Structures are given as structure tokens and as C-alpha cells.
Structure 1
Amino acid sequence: MEADEVLAGLDPEQREVAEATRGPVCVLAGAGTGKTRAITHRIAYAVHTGVVAPQRVLAVTFTTRAAGELRGRLRQLGAPGVQARTFHAAAYKQLHYFWPKVVGGEPPRLVESKLALVAEAARLCRLSFGRTELRDAAAEIEWAKVTQTRPGDYAAAAAKAGRTPPIEAVDMARVHDAYERLRRDRNLIDFEGMLELTAAIFTEHQEVANQFRDQYRHFVVDEYQDVNPLQKLLLDTWLGEREDLCVVGDPNQTIYSFTGASPSYLLSFTVEHPDAKVIKLVRDYRSTPQVVRLANGVLAQARGEARAHRLELVAQRSDGPTPVFTEHDDEVAEAEAVAKRIRELLDEGVPAREIAVLFRINAQSEPYEQAFADHGVPYVVKGAERFFERAEVRQAVVLLRGAARSDTGEPLVRAVRDVLAAAGLTDQPPEGRGAARERWESLAALAQLAEDVAIDRPSAGLREFVTELEERAGSQHAPTLEGVTLATLHTAKGLEWDAVFLTGLVEGTLPIIYAEKSPDQIEEERRLLYVGVTRAREFLTLSWALARSPGGRKGRRRSRFLDGLAPQSAGPPRVDRSARRPVSSGPQPCRVCGRPLTAAIERKLGRCESCPIDYDEDLLERMKHWRVGVSKRQKVPAYVVFTDATLQAIAERAPLSEADLAAIPGVGAVKLERYGSDVLALCRGEEPAADLVD
């Protein structure tokens, strides 16, 4: 890939980021504005223009999934040697490399969970903790360590920060002190200690710092609004006197201050680096103007410092449905209404994996799990058991790895499905929920991932697919399960869906009741709602219930954050059923050989991948040309209009009516209304109306 190709397709602000190859650079990037695209293209452009060698770049982010995504995009841009890691993964590697050189022997053993050690420390202090208190005490120790607060200073620091300790502050300090003594006596380190120890080695051993700084000369830090004091300390030791640093963040998405994260480093970047170049990304490519308008409205009510630093998003997509506000008698009725509406979206062609229900705390998921089970809506709970640690997934990976050793060159999707069939994947899912259904969904997710890989890399075989799985397992980058996502607002950050339901929006839940102690905490709760709103691409529903249980007192008040945004009276949403796709009674048969189709790409094409292809190649090329024009006018990627697989399915079937077009998977009610007339004109051999006026 040439340097000019790296810049192709970037908007003016993204291009400005990419061309700012030397630091210091501060990118303020609003939700959905393509920040990952901007920073990966910046790194790739710097590599292709010779500014820096790929092995001299260290890109740091906050989750293993995000780091894996960065590495994947950089490979596609021709910069595969770049290191993209979390703070902890980078520190772990550095500590294990330098420890034998400057200390000798094996480094302290890493403790991945504090719970057992905290429980023992509590017993030494003659305290008894329940499970919840144990987790809260471990979290409090983590906060103290990332803010560099020693046990003797804990009480004063907690009071100053407005924190409510899970136990008396003096006892919390005693437990923390006992925890540290136990840890040191057993030569253990926790994640915070790992960062602290790595920074100390760099500070105390100049030769180590010099060797590292000779290796890495170009730094990028994503989600900089979430950096805590300990991470900032480590970053400063990495940099030394260098200023080749690019930070990216959004102060409007600061939602982790309870862990010690602070937006102050992002907001004061130009104070620390007076010569820094500041670039703002505000063009929102993710959401419709209606969703963007509501998101801007949420932040328009912000107070204090948050209001001064908000980014006003500018929508780039065409119009979509207006966000819906609904009020319900109780939480059961709210969950029931959400389940019914999701069932309608599924029937209209919206994939289950493109729908999410978001709430403030995990305990709110229970009524939705029950309602979804009652309505036959598949779902997954984000934050549950890690995907690659599931027994059926481990078994499937072993089988795929064995098959890859004797790969015969069979098409990837078919080869993977043959292997997964031996592991228990069937054409149809088991009835109901339970372990059998969850096992089937795990295997189906692997099959879907194979289809995605085959579309992105048509030449990929089993070996490449196994490599993809191993890289994803290492970064916990799980494939998307075919089910509606149930998640908290905190865990939803960084994700997006076609349809989002924000539920439980009542006082005491959002904002959470304990946030009332501080105006800053209230503002963080407001930003949580903003994060939730900006997860939606097209459909957005916001709901609340007046009572918790059926028949209960209707004393709840909807969230103050909806004041001025929601109508005074909000009844149930009106459902447009005019373009709903009929519900299939069973697996779709192949239109050539009649075999039941279970793979998504085969269902979209309406035939087995191996069956003969019969389509008008000229029609397919004309539709692709039309799609390029539409994507440019609407300023969205081409696949947002229609994927290649959907265009091929249209070319093969050559529909001549709206009903025929609507029956093709990938053509939902919204796309039928938006593009139907143009596509049907192309199928008739005519020019689309949009092209005639251009």
C-alpha cells in the first residue's frame, strides 16, 4: 500500500490527524467520528512515509479487544509490525524482559484476582466480609493504588474524593496495609503493582530507560480521558524528554472516574505540551441525525466544566426514525414491551446481534432475560463467561487446528462448518434456552466468523482462520454471538448497534442514588446516558417504569436527564408494519438444490455457495457503481448502503417488485424505503432517479 492510498477516503479532519505524523498531537474525537480510523491511518501514514519504522511504534489502549482491533487494522494498512497493547500487557512484557537484567531471577508472580488475598487480610484485621463487601474492598484498594494513595493516607484521600468506603475508613486502611504485607511476603504483585514496579525500574535504571526509548520512539494513547495517575506515571517514564506522543479521547465519554480515571490529563494536554497540535473530530458517521440531535441535547444540559468541553456532533448520515420515549406501569411491563418491539425488529430483518438493551446496573437484566425467553428472542449477556474459555469453544478450536494441518483447500465456510458439525453444530438451533442452546450459539458464532473472514479475505483457508481465532483468543476479541445484547452502560462503551433500547431511566437508577453526593458524579451519570444514546446507529428507544413490580406503587419519576428531551406524555410507540418481512416457518431452502440454508451468506444469496451461479454480471457492476455514488452522497461507507453479498443476491434474483426485493435478506424495511426504487430501476435496465439529477 502506498502512502497516498492510506489517506484516501479520510474526511478533512481525519486526514489532518493522519498527516500530523510528529507529536505532540491531541485528538478530541466525539462518538462515532472515526477516531480509530484516524489514528490507525496516522500510524500507517507515518510508516509508509518513512517517519518511523513500525517496530518503533507503541500504541496503547485500555482493552485487549481494542488492542486487537488496532493490530488488525494496521495489518490491513500495511503496518503489521506496530505494537498495540494495553497498559498492563505492555508493562507485563517490559517487566519480564528487564527484571532478570537489573534485579535477577524471576519477577514477582502476578495475582490476577485480589479477592483471596483481601479476604485473608480482612481476617488478620479480625473483620468478616461477605462476597459483596469483598469485591468492594478489592475495588477500593485498586482505587488507592492507581491514585498512589498509601494506606496511612487513605482516610483523608477518600474524604477529599467524596468516596464512601465499603467499611469504616480506618478499617479499610488496615485491610489495605495487611493486603500489601501479605503480597510482599509472598513475592506477589497485582496489576497496579506491575505498572508501579515497571515505572520504578525505568526511573532507577537509566540504561533500561535508554534501551526502551531507543526501541520505541513514537507513542499513541487511545481513550486518553480514562488514564489514571498510575498509568500517567508509567507513560511519562516511557517518554522521557520525547514529545512524539499522540493522545486521543473524548471528555464527554469520561465514565470511569470511580476507578481513578481522570479527564484532566486530556483537558490539560496543551498546558503540559504548549506546542501541541489539537484536532477535533465531530463528524458523526455512526448515527442518524435524529440520534445525534438527541445526543447533543443530553450534553447541552451539562453543567460546570463538562459543558465547556463538550463536542457538538454533526450528523453525516441520512434521516432515520425519531427516537421513541415510552413510559410503563412497572418493570415487567417495560421488559415485555421491549421484547415485543425487538421481536418485530427481528421479523423486519434486523439481525439479533445488531440489537442491544442497555441499563445502569447488572441487576436490571433479569426481567429482560425472562421476557426474551417468553418471546423466543435469542440473547447474550455481555460480561458473562469469556467466550474463548467456554468448553465447546475450546473443543472446536482444537478440532479446527487439527483440520488445518491437513487442509485440502476446500472453501473456508464449508470446511469450518464441516468441522463444527462434528462438534455439535446443527442446521437448526435447539428449542428454548439452556446449556444446549448456549453451546449451539457458541458454535454458530464461530461459523458466522468464518463467513466474515471469507468475505474480507476470499483467499483465506483453515490455517488463516485458526490464526485469526488464536489472535482473538489472546486479546479476548470474541466473535459476535447471534443474540440481542444485554449489557450495562459501562460495558457498552466502544460498541454500537443498529437498534438500542435504553431502559430503567428513573431517578435513583440514572442518576444512581449515591451520585447525589457530588455534582461531578451527577455529571458523570449524564455522560453515561450520552454514551448509551451514541451507541445507536438508527433505532433508539428510551423507557422507564413507574413501579418496580406489577401492582406496586407508581412513585418513580423518570430521569431528570430526559427533561426537555422527552415529551410530557409518552405512550407506547406506533409500530409500522407496512414493510414487515413474513416470518419463515423453517430453514430457507436453496433455490437450486433445495438443501436447508443455515449459513448467513447462503441465506442472503438464497442458494448454497457450491451451487451454480446464475446472474447478470453487468447488473451487478451497475449496482456497485450506483452504490459508490450513494455512499459518497451520504458520506457513509459503501457497505452501509448494501453489502457485496446483498448486491450479489439482488443480481441473482433480479427482483421486479418491492415484495420480491423485500424478500431478499439484507433488504429491510428501512433500506427498501430508502433505496428500493433505485434498485428496481437498475433491475429493469433503467437509470435510477438519483443518477438522473446528479
Structure 2
Amino acid sequence: MTDAEGVLAGLDEEQRVAAATLTGPLCILAGAGTGKTRAITHRIAYGVRTGTYDPHRVLAVTFTARAAAEMRSRLTGLGAPGVQARTFHAAALRQLQYFWPVAVGGPLPQILDYKVRLLAEAAKRLRITTDRASLRDFASEIEWSKVSTLTPEGYLAQAADRPEPGGADHQSFAKLYQAYEDIKADRQLMDFEDVLLFTAGMLENEERVAAQVRRQYRHFVVDEYQDVSPLQQRLLDLWLGGRDDLCVVGDAAQTIYSFTGATPDYLLKFRRRYPNAEMVKLVRDYRSTPQVVSLANQLLADRRSSSAAPWPEPLQLISQREAGPTPTLTEHADDDAEASWVAEQIVQLRDAGTPLSEIAVLYRTNGQSQTFEQALASAGVSYQLRGSERFFSRPEVREALAALRTSSVTADDGSEELGHQVRAVLSSHGWKAQAPTSAGAVRERWESLAALVALADQLASERHGMTLRDFIAELDERSASQHAPTVEGVTLASLHSAKGLEWDAVFLAGLNEGLMPISFADSQLKIDEERRLLYVGITRARTHLSLSSASARHAGGRGRRRPSRFLIPLRRTLGLEPQARRIAPGGGTLSPNAAARRRRPITCAGCGDVLTVGTQIKRRRCQDCPVRYDEQLFEQLRSWRLSYAKELQMKAFMILGDATLELLAEHKPTTDEELLKIPGIGERKLQQHGERLKAAIFSYVEAG
């Protein structure tokens, strides 16, 4: 077997066909868990090893810095360093920085981190009333307009069917858009989307620059092609310059960013554009058990295509793994009960040997995380919020990197195994072989250092002869791309942020109508996107999968929430009986007034902002507004709850949540009638805890 042929060893039949097809247009349709990154990195490495590719003339683009860093790491391991693997924005910015002085002249405009400040100024000039929420909506609409290649003038022609952003009519928004662009130009600024727009404009208008870029890059690979926007496709076409040495990889069933301007049309119509294109389908799922794969397939199969709302034929995945446990589908009384049950299941998985880093709780909106944070904390389970503080920004990680860098200066490379060297350095900074039994800052520090030790072990096993200096270089690269190592703790994440990740055990929570599909999914296209989002969630699980819903938002609530419509075919797949429809007393069709009340948004009593986060809705207060409750009474009620919970041998949050305690401390109810007016206290809670609760509040009021 030649050195080049060795790159293809271990690939399955379809992956091998994809990897061995080195020239001409190639479209790889790759389902979730089918090894698409493996296929394309081996394809590039095979092209380099056979001499077909000059590694410095290959450009592989993807959508996240993490994915690009992972691709570079794999290519290095396959003996193909030098290949450019970047995001669209990183590749464009590099070209812009290099060619701007020659093509345009003068300094490159500074990149604007946030649009909101400039938008507020533009709105003030136009006497448009704004608040934080409307400014965020304006920023999102500008981003959509730009990736859709729409100028302020072009926006009006295309926006008729779009909701009015931030409460402003389309004409007013177009003026705001133009004012924002004017301010930005006056101050020599460019935003994130301008990086692509300016690069595209430069390549269109400067033939010498375009020719130089095309001489540099001869072979192109685009990952996650289903998420390409019109602006990204325009830039890709300019890079290609009429050539067809292009490989695209994607899965229309994983299109979940249409709201940002992404479209699967370029993937689905690839053969129309390139009639001679090779097409390879990857359907062998190496990630998930047959039980998980069956559920994912059924979710997509339940949606039938129609002329009014087409539905592309989805890939039918075939699991390559042994059978695993049957996924569970449960309904709970309320959000707290659901979170408590999830926490209990996680404890059982941990005790049975599943690492916490291999467990995730996924939900539709970020506002759902708080209930799970509280439940996991009460159960003594560490967790990490995906999208919170960046790993490489943590103080202990910065200290560790500095210590490793200092040690690498005097280290005798090759004299000691990498993992031992890293352990020796980090042992003086808080790392020990045994994890601390306490929670809090000490545990968090240890988990960060343990993640670095585990990464050193992993890289040492993958790359023979890796030195401490090599490890430092890898960490620097990962820090630049925010490609963090695994931290020991349950991952809490939204479904959108879970794309591209996988875990041994996944809990899909809050699967109720209004959340999945989300309430503003008011068209078939938007509901289809919600179905794909749930599909992405299901296919994140390797072995254990749990889907759950809650009948009521708060303990003691009326339980009017319905499980997601998407669960109906999944119940059939799992062999469960259809759920009986729940009808409230005196049920039937809601009266027009009642329906209107249901649709009426809940606003903050302080600033009037519309509230969307569950706990904020319960409090009738947004996060930024000052508290209105008696803080001393709140602390006394927390102490009372803790001692009462110990007496009952229950978890404290199962008695009353913090949001309910805040409302009690604000309204100070002392009668049954007053207590029942507090969200979170129903007849059951009143019967169980009412007398003790009234006594606790009454004693405080009397003392005051």
C-alpha cells in the first residue's frame, strides 16, 4: 500500500469514493454522524499525498472558528499541514488586510464590534423612538439585509413579506439603515458583514487582485454548504472565477439558520449549476445507536412534501452501532418537576459511569436554562453554560498557559512524555490527580486545569513525538479560534448552539407547543425549520436520549400547555399510546377575549419591555430593572425554606423557587386568598406548605 493509499484506509465505501474524487465539482450529501469531516480531511490529505494538490493552494471554508481549527488539526495529523482552513469571514478579512492598501489605499476601516451604539445614534438623528429590544431587532435586520446582498434601497423592494423590525415600518427602517451606513463610513468603520461585502467588491472591481487570489487558490472545499448565504455564495463565485474545482458538503435536513439569510438552495440545486458534478451520499451513521437514528428518521419522514411547501427528500440514516437503550419520552407537571427529574437522571448516569462532560441538556431558548441550573446545583452536579465565559479567558487558564510557556523554554524536548510534563507544571497551580470533593471556585479551577491535562494526553496519543513546545503552539491556535478543550460538567445549551457537537447522553427539554415549534413560527417554512432544529437536537445523542415536556410553567399551574406536535410520530416509533387530549374544566374553544389574553405579551412593570424569559415573566421584571421586593424578608424566607426542606427531607427548590420567594417578599401575603394570587402557589402548594409559609411571613411583618 502506498503512502497516499494509506490515507484512504479505514474509510467506508462512500467516504472512500468522496475522498478519492479529487477534481471537478463534487457534492457530498452527508447526514448527521456520517463522518463528513473525516471524508473531506482525508480527501484533502489524499490530494496532497498524490501530488494533485499543492497544500498552499487549497482553501477549505466552514462556518465556525472551532470547526476550522478542528479541520486544521486533523489535516496536520494526516500529514497535510499548510492547508488554509478558515471561516468565510477569516479568509475574507485576511485578503482584505493584504490587498486594501494597494486596491483602495489608506488604512483599513476598523471592525465595529456592536451595531447597537451606532444604530441608537442613527435613530436619534431620525427621531425614531427605540429601546434595547428594538435596537437588537434593527441590528438583526441589517445583518439579514447585508447577507442577502440588499442595500437600503434594495431592502424596500424585498421586505414586503417580512415582519416590521423593531416596531418600525419598512420605509423608516430603510432610512435608519442608510443613516447607520453613513455614520459608519464617516468614522472609517466596518461591521462584520462588511468584511465579506468589501472583499467581494474588491474582487469585482480590481481584476489584478482577483487574478492574484485565483492564482493562490486552485481547490476549494465548503463545509456546511446548506448554511451558505447569498453574500457568501457571491464571494465563493468570485474566488472560483468560473472554475469548477469545488467540493461542497452539507445536509438540507440540518438547515437551521434561515433567519440569518442562510439557504439550502445552493446545495439542493448544485447539479443544476454543475450538471457534470459527482454526487456522493453518506448515510452510515457512526455516532448514534439504531434507536436514536430511528427516531431522527421518523421525525423527518413525518413531514410530507407538497407543491405549496416543498420538503426535500431527507437522507435515510443507517446506524452502524450496536443497539442501545430505548429513548424516553416523558411529560411532567411543571418546569421545576421536569428539571428535577432531569437532574435525577443525570445523577444516575454519572453514578453508572457516564462522564458529566458527555451529558447535555438542550432547549429551544436561552431563557430556559435557569430552571436546569438551579436543579443541577441543588443535586450537586457541576455544569457549564455554552456561550458563557470563554475557556481561554479564565484566569486559571491564562496562568496555566503562562506557566507552560515558561517551562517550555527550558524543557528538553523529547526527554519526557508530554502528559507528564504538563502534569508537573500544572500541579503547582492547583491540579491534582483526584478531583476536589467541594463545589464552587476550587472545583471550577481544577476542572479547567484537568481539561488541559486531558487534552495533552489526547494529542500525545494522536501525534507521536509531540513536544511541550508543540503543545503550546496548539493551545495558542485553539485560543485564537476559541476551540476549547472539554470541561468536566454537564453542558447546558440552546439547540442552535449545539450544532456540530455530540454527547453520550442528551436531554431535550421543554418540548411544548410555543417552544417547539416556537410561538413565532407562523408559516409552514418556519415550522419546517423548527422540525429540522429538533432533528439536529436528536442527532447530537450517541447512546442515551430523553425527550420531555411540562404541562405547566409553574408548580400548581393549570397544566394547559400541550406537548409538541413533533412528538406525535415519535410516540408511534417508541410504541407509546397516543396521549389523550387534555381539556380544561368547561373546555371547548377559547372565547375571543380569552384567546386575546393568551396572545397579550407580558411586560416588565418597571421599564415596560416585553418579557420572554420564563423567570422574568413570573417576576414581572426584566433582568436590568431594580428589585421591588423586601430583600430582608427574601433572605429570611430563603433561610426558612432551607430549614423546612431539611425537615421534610426534600430539595429546597422543590418547595418554592426563588422567583416565587421574591414575589412573596414583595406582596407579603398572610391569607390563603392572597397566597393563591402569587404565581407558583396553587391549591396543592397551599395545602402542603401554606400554614408554615403564612407563619413565616406573619412573624416578619409583626416584627417590622
Residue 525 (structure 2) pairs with residue 525 (structure 1) = no
Tell me the residue number matched to 1:60: 61
8 Å contact kept, 2:568–2:578: no
Aligned-pair distance for 1:297? 0.3
Distance 1:371 1:253 in 2: 31
Aligned-pair distance for 1:101? 1.7
Aligned-pair distance for 1:570? 8.2
Tell me the residue number matched to 1:250: 251
In structure 2, what residue type is equivalent to 1:356? A
Distance 2:172 2:437 in 1: 52
8 Å contact kept, 1:303–1:523: no
Distance 1:430 1:468 in 2: 28
Tell me the residue number matched to 2:134: 133
Tell me the residue number matched to 1:279: 280
8 Å contact kept, 1:300–1:307: no
Aligned-pair distance for 1:125? 2.5
Residue 87 (structure 2) pairs with residue 86 (structure 1) = yes
Tell me the residue number matched to 1:296: 297
In structure 2, what residue type is equivalent to 1:388? F
In structure 2, what residue type is equivalent to 1:405? V
Tell me the residue number matched to 1:348: 352
Aligned-pair distance for 1:569? 6.5
Give the alignment partner of residue 513 of structure 1, picking from 515, 519, 531: 519
Tell me the residue number matched to 1:487: 493
Residue 577 (structure 2) pairs with residue 568 (structure 1) = yes
Aligned-pair distance for 1:447? 2.1
Distance 1:421 1:123 in 2: 55
* Moved segments of 4+, more than 6 Å: none
Tell me the residue number matched to 2:556: 551
Task: Please give the root-mean-square deviation of Cα atoms over the aligned residues, in Å.
Answer: 1.8
8 Å contact kept, 1:32–1:287: yes
Q: C-alpha offsets along residues 327-376 of structure 1, whole Å, 9 cap, x if unaligned?
A: 10001000000000010100011111111110001011111111111111
Aligned-pair distance for 1:464? 1.7
Q: C-alpha offsets along residues 264-303 of structure 1, whole Å, 9 cap, x if unaligned?
A: 0111111111111111111111111110000000001124
In structure 2, what residue type is equivalent to 1:452? Q
8 Å contact kept, 2:19–2:43: yes
Aligned-pair distance for 1:113? 2.3
List runs of 5+ in structure 1 lacking aligned partners: 572-694
Distance 2:163 2:301 in 1: 27
Distance 1:203 1:496 in 2: 40
Query: Higher mean Cα deviation, 104-113 or 357-366?
Result: 104-113
Residue 474 (structure 2) pairs with residue 468 (structure 1) = yes
Aligned-pair identity (%): 57
8 Å contact kept, 1:30–1:313: yes
Distance change >3 Å, CA 134–CA 435, structure 1 → 2: farther
Aligned-pair distance for 1:231? 0.4
1:186-335 counterparts in 2 under 5 A?
186-304=187-305, 307-335=311-339
Give the alignment partner of residue 383 of structure 1, picking from 370, 376, 387: 387
8 Å contact kept, 2:252–2:312: no
Residue 373 (structure 2) pairs with residue 369 (structure 1) = yes
Tell me the residue number matched to 1:664: none
TM-score, normalization: structure 2? 0.78
8 Å contact kept, 1:376–1:432: no
Distance 1:285 1:62 in 2: 23
Q: C-alpha offsets along residues 483-535 of structure 1, whole Å, 9 cap, x if unaligned?
A: 111001101011111110000000000000000x2100000000001000000
Any idea what SS the aligned residue of 1:564 has? Answer: helix
Which has the higher Rg, Structure 1 or Structure 2? 2
Any idea what SS the aligned residue of 1:558 has? Answer: coil
In structure 1, what residue type is equivalent to 2:478? R
8 Å contact kept, 2:283–2:316: yes
8 Å contact kept, 2:61–2:88: yes
Distance 2:555 2:180 in 1: 46
Aligned length: 569
Tell me the residue number matched to 1:168: 168
Distance change >3 Å, CA 178–CA 428, structure 1 → 2: farther
Distance 1:435 1:172 in 2: 46
8 Å contact kept, 1:59–1:221: yes
8 Å contact kept, 1:449–1:479: yes
Tell me the residue number matched to 1:632: none
Distance 1:333 1:94 in 2: 53
Aligned-pair distance for 1:164? 4.6
Any idea what SS the aligned residue of 2:27 has? Answer: strand
Distance 2:283 2:464 in 1: 35
Aligned-pair distance for 1:68? 0.7
Aligned-pair distance for 1:436? 4.1
Distance 1:405 1:216 in 2: 37
Q: C-alpha offsets along residues 226-247 of structure 1, whole Å, 9 cap, x if unaligned?
A: 0001101100100011000010
Distance 1:461 1:215 in 2: 32
Query: Higher mean Cα deviation, 495-504 or 448-457?
Result: 448-457
Tell me the residue number matched to 1:612: none
8 Å contact kept, 1:489–1:528: yes
